[in-house]
Structure 1
Amino acid sequence: MFDGHNMSGPTTVTVTDGVIRNVDTTGAPPPSTDTFVDLGPDSCLLPGLIDSHVHLAFNAGPDPVSALGETDDAELLTQMRAAAHTALRAGITTVRDLGDRSYLAVALGEEFRQQPHLGPEILAAGPPLTTPLGHCHFFGGEVEGTEALRQAVRERHARGCAVVKIMASGGNMTPESAAPHVSQYSLDDLRVVVQEAHRLGLRVAAHAHGVTAIMEAVEAGVDTLEHVSFLTAAGSRPEPDSLAAVADSQSFVSLTLGRDPRHPLPNHPAMVSQIEVLLGAFRDLYKMGAKIVFGSDAGIGPFKPHDVLPYAVADAVDLGFSPLDALASVTSVAADACGLEGRKGQIAIGSDADLLAVSGNPAVDPASLRNVQAVFRAGVRVR
């Protein structure tokens, strides 16, 4: 068993009403009165995985933005339900949806709260905050000005969002937005959003490709930094000072890792030509002790299906992460980043019985995470 922190030998986990009631690592046989699932000697039990950055509203097709525009809300909700189910079958029992339309991820999350065996727990951001015609404006979250930003945060709180997403910089999927290295909001704007969100008990995730956007998001006190590409007009430039500022901050760093190797990367010159530099920055952040989680950005293209997260763990190990640290980044550390510490991301008494069993030992071979043997959501076996 990997409990979210450490490995142990043969283990029996007792579950009642969707909650873990006991964890026995002595190897003793379970009580004969219990309903017992024997996963076999070659299995590893883990907490359900947490993907810190997904888009259920994107269809993982060749042009997800156009597909979104051609789909009405009723059909989009159906597609999102299917995407969530795909994630669940891969052992991804919690997802943080960082951008959708019409608060559909909130509605879907409520559906799964009522019947948790139907899908992962969803922490929804709703339409991300962006400037007029800014990155992902098609989700409907265009807003600017101090009072409008405060009101936008309040609206997301009232709608039941768990997190506020703000596009601190431009992005690759929206040609009419600012370039990815250019900031969309000022430091003062970011501070307003963070202060209002924290006052209401919400966390803030900042999409930040540009160096300036990253540094200002850190200074504003965002909870998670998404992508962290260190882009400038001349490409990715992760300088020692900016790396240290990120690593030393209180913000969690959500590294965009994991892709389906059957599909090529998209042809975004600013990213593709700089991929080795970017991966080097990720490696440096790990060595410097940054608080790292993995957000797959699932849905943005064929190379990012909604069950892609296990590939991120293998990618991280290839970069030099220890296998246990990589596993923690999609379990216990991710739970902390998302405000779910103690309830998700660990196998411990009192935690939700969201569990994944795989054939093999992912602490030795991270690829074994894809050898799914069983998935339990709130104690109910769903695969």
Structure 2
Amino acid sequence: MNSLAIHAGSMFDGFSLSGPATVHVSGGRIVRVDRTGALPDDGSEVIDLGRSACLLPGLIDTHVHLAFDAGPDPVTSLAAASDSDLLAHMRAAARSALLAGITTVRDLGDRGYLSLALVEEMAKHPEQGPEILPAGPPLTTPGGHCHFLGGEVEGAAALRAAVREHHSRGCAVIKIMASGGHMTPDSVPAHASQYGLEDLRVVVDEAHRLGLPVAAHAHGVQAIRDAVEAGVDSLEHVSFLTGDGIASVPDLIDTIVRKGTFVSLTLGLDPSEAVLPPKGMDANTMAAHANAILDTYSNLHKHGANVVIGSDAGIGPFKPHNVLPHGVADLARLGVAPLDALISMTSLAARLCRVEGRKGRITAGADADLLVVNGDVEHDPAAVLDVQAVFRAGIRVC
């Protein structure tokens, strides 16, 4: 079995930054971390990436859609694609994420459980893409948000059965559309609830009984409140929408923090692409909404919420599948230190995704999923974009 020693001038291990380090890899795992930075003389292959290089755990995107093509109309594109064509696109999307240093993704909505086919492929060839933690088709009401993915279900018995089916197929997480959304024509608006508290409790109870976490798509205030009360593991988007705009709800933020519910903030934008307003919303209203949401995100962080970053990659040209690293700069604009942002994308995200210890950290026994960047990750949010190397299961992919 070939051994590899990767050396860099600094290392962020998922929790803190330190000086020169050498990470020893064998069989796809990290076997030893030498914080003296000494180079081995035991015959291991040595990759010395230089004094300006920083070693990081591979990044974790807690919310992607590999089935969406990041084009101007991803819903229409998806509907027109055959399963084989869609799977080919998903492979390319996964590869794009990997080359940016994103070595683990939670796919929170595909069509026909296609992401599970990729999971099988990449178990044999991990160098082809990130580890995928699939949700399969998200649970939604008939005609509800993203119903075209095939997860329409209503009623307690049917919801329990749907959770059991997702579990039996091998899904790693249950996704439920607690509120409406912006991408589905003729469905309920984003601020309106799709499922009430009792339905959410049914899903959470059944998922937790089977050992699966629950991610709730929740834009509306009532949907957020019900999802937290039901005990979901993560809130996706957390926009605090009402029919009149973005609400300030301090007591709900306090409840989120007190219960320890993760908030998966929708951040990370390609700065070269314009963000167009949703249908029916003008640019000024969208800008006001965006600023209000960012204020809410800032308050969640300031109050001590468990903040991770879910890019929602795939939903438009401004959300390519390699966009997550831009989230460091987005958080910096909210007053979050770059290292805290990296914690959100590594060790904390691993805890949410239930891969803690194996992903999101550099330590003996963890998977050898590594990102190497050039620059000062402690002070420069853009440093994470300057990729020098990516390793997936100990295999160098770029």
TM-score scaled by length of structure 1: 0.99
For structure 2, which runs of at least 5 residues remain unmatched after alignment?
A: 1-10
CA–CA separation in structure 1 for the residues paired with 2:19 and 2:315: 38
What SS is found at the alignment partner of 2:162? helix
Aligned to 2:143: 133
User: 2: distance between equivalents of 1:56 and 1:271?
Assistant: 26
Instruction: Indicate the residue corresponding to 2:266 in structure 1.
Output: 256
Q: 2:128 aligned with 1:105, yes or no?
A: no
Q: Which runs of 5+ in 1 are unaligned?
A: none
User: Quick one: which amino acid aligns to residue 247 of structure 1?
Assistant: V
Any idea what SS the aligned residue of 1:105 has?
helix
The aligned counterpart of 1:167 is: 177
Matches within 5 A, 1:204-219: 204-219=214-229
Distance of 2:152 and 2:276 partners within structure 1:
26
Per-residue CA shift, 1:329-379, capped at 9, x if unaligned?
000000001001000000001000000001112221110111110000000
2:257 aligned with 1:242: no
**CA offsets per residue over residues 200-256 of structure 1, 9 Å max, x none?**
111100000000000100000000100000000101112211221222222110000
Query: Does structure 2 retain, via aligned residues, the 8 Å contact 1:56–1:100?
Result: yes
Aligned equivalent of 2:321: 306
1:265–1:272: 8 Å Cα contact kept in structure 2?
no
Q: Secondary structure at the match of 1:96?
A: strand
Task: Quote the RMSD (CA, aligned, Å).
Answer: 0.9
Q: What's the secondary structure of 1:206's corresponding residue?
A: strand
Question: Helix, strand or coil for the counterpart of 2:17?
Answer: coil
Please give the per-residue CA displacement for 1:303-342, whole angstroms capped at 9, x wherever unaligned: 0000000001111011111221100000000000100100
Partner of 2:29: 19
Residues in 1 aligned to 2:248 and 2:172: alpha-carbon distance in whole angstroms: 31
- Runs of 4 or more above 6 Å deviation: none
Partner in structure 2 of residue 119 of structure 1: 129
- The counterpart of 1:154, out of the listed 123, 145, 164, is 164
TM-score by length of 2: 0.95
Letter in structure 1 aligned against 2:89: Q
- 1:61 and 1:365 mapped to 2: Cα distance? 30
**Which one is further off, 241-250 or 199-208?**
241-250
Q: Select which of 42, 45, 48 maps to 1:38.
A: 48
> Match of 2:53, as an amino acid?
S
Q: Which amino acid aligns with 2:339?
A: L
Does residue 198 (structure 1) correspond to residue 208 (structure 2)? The answer is yes
Q: Secondary structure at the match of 1:62?
A: coil
Give yes or no for contact 1:46–1:347 (8 Å, CA) kept in 2. Answer: yes
Residue type of the alignment partner of 1:66: T
Aligned length: 383
Q: Please tell me the residue identity of whatever aligns with 1:59.
A: D
